[in-house]
Amino acid sequence: MLPTDRVGLAIVYAIEGKIVYAEGFGYADLENKEPMTSNHMMRIASISKEMTDAAISLLVANGKLSVNDRLFGKGGLLENDYKGTQDPEKNRYLHMVTIEHC
């Protein structure tokens, strides 16, 4: 919490859906000195990048994805979600992006 000047932090760790550790640190409301608990709701903030990376790494390790899988364009993992761009030069490069690039 110190490097980012956060006043509160909640951690919940689960294994196979069962909570094995839950703890609050600091304050949920500093002004009113309300202690943080693991039951407080909050944003996951920038940690989502690390969670996405861990999930993709597991999928690659389990053979569900390859680091060479393309993301955009025909046959890409996001083929149906990708709307494209009117710029053919940008489309050309976007169609080359793989999981490894991300």
Residues taking part in catalysis: 46
How many CA atoms within 13 Å lie on the side-chain side of 27? 8
- Strand positions, DSSP E, the chain: 8-15, 18-29, 34-35
Q: Which structure tokens are listed for 23?
A: 């703890």
